[in-house]
Amino acid sequence: MCLVYLAHDTISGAKVAIKILLPALINDRTAMARLRREAALGGKLAHPNVCHIIRLGETTAGFDYIVMPFLEGDLLCVRTARAGSLPLNVTAGFVGDMCAGLHIAHGFGIIHRDLKPENIMIVAAPDGSERAVVMDFSLATELHVSPEMQLTAAGVVVGTPEFMSPEQLCGEPLDPRSDIYSLAFMVYEMLTGQLPFEGPSQRDVMVARLKGASIPIRTKRPDLAIPVAVEQVLTKALAFDPARRYSTTLAFGQAFSRAARGSPPGVLDRSREILRRLVRRLLRRRA
């Protein structure tokens, strides 16, 4: 939909990216509205793991554009394709970053709707560390927005089918658990270099997603010795029924981090619950 230019901010001296609609879409009201929506939503999301929008502007010819920080690094799709698959510890770090960024978005009632490796940038810090940054909220939607303010009609599917949740493929209402599904889909590919469903065509893969459970990650790549706990976390996040998934990105990120470190998913949660029960018993006895 857009062209993106590398530019120099003459005031701050920083490199920035300027995004403008393709010439063929300049008179497309919906496309223009999406660009403005991206600016409005992205302007709220000041977080190291989200590519925020600096400002919305207009050229002398009357064309809207948005200004974003210039992020130098690799797209996640490039990194994964080059390596074939990513080590578990590296993946866990990026998962934590993406979950943190999406948690901020979800806190504002924003559902990304187009999570895919092409929309994640891996950025290097001066100390050599790396962080994952979630980009491109052009197809994002908001919870609790009146129907007349929505840019997508009910039942219409937008996004990248390859990484969509089942409910998004069906054009159903979405909540943060849809983004969690798409995120888990990406994580599966990061670890294996493959997708969690199989089929001779993209259509068959989508149909398989609507019919049953994903292929267990250790079945797909037994050579990688991925821990059982990691498989359990991804299986839960990729559940067909949103009610069976993690309810927040933070919960998913914490479970994945624990599993990657070797702790079974939910161990800390069960320990906290046992502790709470003991405290309640002690309080009742004192009463």
CB 258 within 8 A of CB 268: yes
How many CA atoms does the CB half-sphere of 64 hold within 13 Å? 21
114 an active-site residue?
A: yes
Residue with tokens 């069960």: 270
Query: Could you give the residue ranges of the DSSP H alpha helices within 2-131?
Result: 29-42, 76-83, 88-107
Residues 6+ apart with CB under 8 A from 138: 1, 2, 34, 35, 37, 38, 114
Residue from 127, 130, 208, 222 nearest 169 by CA: 208
Return the amino acid letter for 227. Answer: P
Joined tokens for residue 256: 């994945």
CB 67 within 8 A of CB 93: no
| Cα 24 to Cα 2, 3, 37, 62, distances in angstroms | 10, 11, 19, 15
Residue with tokens 């990304």: 112
CB count, 10 Å around CB of 91?
A: 21
Catalytic member of 114, 136, 204, 223: 114
Joined tokens for residue 105: 């978005």
Helix axes 88-107, 249-261, angle to 10 degrees: 160
Residue from 110, 133, 150, 148 nearest 52 by CA: 133
Residue with tokens 């994952």: 132
Joined tokens for residue 10: 């003459």
Question: Annotated catalytic sites, by residue?
Answer: 114
